[in-house]
């Protein structure tokens, strides 16, 4: 049975981010409908793309496969943390990522849930 899966990546832990992308790519390859949203501290992972490595490779594959829905607009602006590493909105835009703000400035999930997506949170 094919499923609709929304991977909400919140964690700032590199290992969990890598696995979220690996699982999303695996499910996509098996024919499931997959979307990825970066939320909260996970939005800062776009800072790691220029460094290369495993995450950059996974991110590129997911992006090329059209799996990345986007990043939370508020979180990519730093969520008022004033941490420079968390303010990645410009980098996200340069990467061609959509800034999502349909839930009071954050990335909402209702548009996915209402059409049958199962939400998986990392």
Secondary structure string (H, E, C) spanning 31-80: CCEEEEEECHHHHHHHHHHHHCCHHHHHHHHHHHCCCEEEEEHHHHECCC
Number of compact structural domains in the chain = 1
CATH number of the domain to which 29 belongs: 3.40.1260.10
What average pLDDT does range 84-102 have in this prediction? 85
Range of 45's domain? 4-121
d(CA 35, CA 7): 6
pLDDT of 10 over the 80 cut:
yes
Return the structure tokens found at 34. Answer: 């997959």
pLDDT of 82 over the 90 cut:
no
CB count within 10 Å of CB 72 equals: 27
Return the structure tokens found at 7. Answer: 């991977």
Band of residue 84 on the pLDDT scale cut at 50, 70, 90: low
What average pLDDT does range 17-37 have in this prediction? 98
pLDDT of 85 over the 80 cut:
no
**Contact between 37 and 71 (Cβ < 8 Å):** yes
d(CA 21, CA 81): 26
Q: Which of 34, 16, 14 is nearest to 25 (CA)?
A: 34
pLDDT at 48: 87
pLDDT of 34 over the 90 cut:
yes
């Amino acid at each position: 049975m094919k499923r609709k899966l929304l991977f909400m990546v919140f964690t700032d832990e590199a290992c969990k981010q890598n696995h979220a992308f690996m699982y999303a790519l695996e499910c996509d390859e098996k024919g499931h409908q997959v979307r990825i949203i970066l939320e909260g501290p996970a939005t800062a992972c776009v800072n790691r793309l220029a460094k290369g490595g495993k995450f950059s490779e996974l991110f590129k594959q997911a992006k090329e496969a059209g799996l990345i829905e986007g990043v939370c607009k508020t979180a990519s602006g730093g969520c008022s943390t004033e941490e420079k590493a968390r303010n990645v909105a410009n980098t996200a835009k340069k990467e061609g990522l959509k800034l999502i703000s349909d839930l009071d400035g954050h990335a909402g999930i209702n548009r996915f849930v209402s059409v049958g997506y199962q939400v998986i949170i990392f």
